[in-house]
Amino acid sequence: MIEIPDNSAEHLALLDETAASIKEAFGDIPEILVVAGSGLGAFGERLENAKAVSYDKLKNFPVSTVVGHAGKLMRGTAGGRDIMVMSGRKHLYEGVDVRVATLPLQAMLRAGVKTVILSNAAGSLNVKFAVGDLMLITDHINNMFKNPLIGPNLDDMGPRFPDMSEPYNRELQKVARETALDLGILLREGVYWGNLGPSYETQAEVQMLRQFADAVGMSTVPECIAATHAGARVLGISVLTNSLVLKTDAETTHEEVMETGRQVSDKFCNLVSTIISKL
Residue 91 or 110 having the CB closest to ligand HPA: 91
Residue type, 68: G
Q: Considering the complex, what minimum distance in angstroms separates the CB of residue 135 from ligand HPA?
A: 12
Q: Which is nearer to ligand HPA, 145 or 170 (CB)?
A: 145
Whether residue 74 contacts residue 36, with contact meaning beta carbons closer than 8 Å, is answered with: no
**In this structure, how many other beta carbons lie within 10 angstroms of the beta carbon of residue 57?**
13
Smallest gap from Cβ 219 to ligand HPA, in A, equals 8
- Decide whether 242 or 270 has the Cβ nearer to ligand HPA: 242
List C-alpha distances in Å: 157 to 147, 195, 261.
15, 26, 37
Question: Which residue is closest to ligand HPA by CB?
Answer: 123
**Is the CB of 39 or the CB of 79 nearer to ligand HPA?**
39
Please say if 55 is a catalytic residue: no
**Least distance CB 244 / ligand HPA (angstroms):** 5
What one-character DSSP code corresponds to residue 64?
A: P
Q: Is 153 among the catalytic positions?
A: no
Give the separation between CA 34 and CA 273, rounded to whole angstroms. Answer: 10
The answer to whether residue 218 is catalytic is yes
Task: Choose the catalytic residue: 31, 93, 166, 178.
Answer: 93
Is 93 tagged catalytic? yes
121 is catalytic: yes
Shortest distance in whole angstroms from residue 69 CB to ligand HPA: 15
CB of 107 to ligand HPA, least distance (A): 26
Which CB sits closer to ligand HPA, 145 or 200? 200
Is there a catalytic annotation at residue 144?
no
Separation between Cα atoms, residue 95 and residue 65, nearest integer Å:
10
Which residues are within 8 A (CB) of 69 and not within 5 positions of it... i.e. 6 or more apart? 88
Catalytic residue among 19, 86, 121, 227: 121
- Measured between alpha carbons, how far is residue 71 from residues 60, 87, 88, 148, 244 in Å? 13, 6, 5, 21, 28
Instruction: Return the number of the residue (55 or 192) whose C-beta is nearest ligand HPA.
Output: 192
Nearest 5°: phi and psi at 84? -110, 150
Cα separation, 128 vs 219, in Å, equals: 23
Q: Give the footprint of ligand HPA on this chain (CB under 6 A).
A: 121-123, 195, 200-201, 216-218, 241-242, 244
Q: What are phi and psi of 259, to 5 degrees?
A: -65, -45
Is 215 among the catalytic positions? no
DSSP run (H or E) holding 107? helix 103-111
Q: Are 43 and 36 in contact (CB under 8 A)?
A: yes
Query: Closest separation between CB of residue 17 and ligand HPA, Å?
Result: 32
- Give me the catalytic one of 19, 218, 226, 232: 218
Q: Which amino acid is at 107?
A: A
List the catalytic residue out of 8, 142, 143, 242.
242
- By annotation, the residues acting in catalysis are 38, 69, 91, 93-94, 121, 218-219, 242, 254
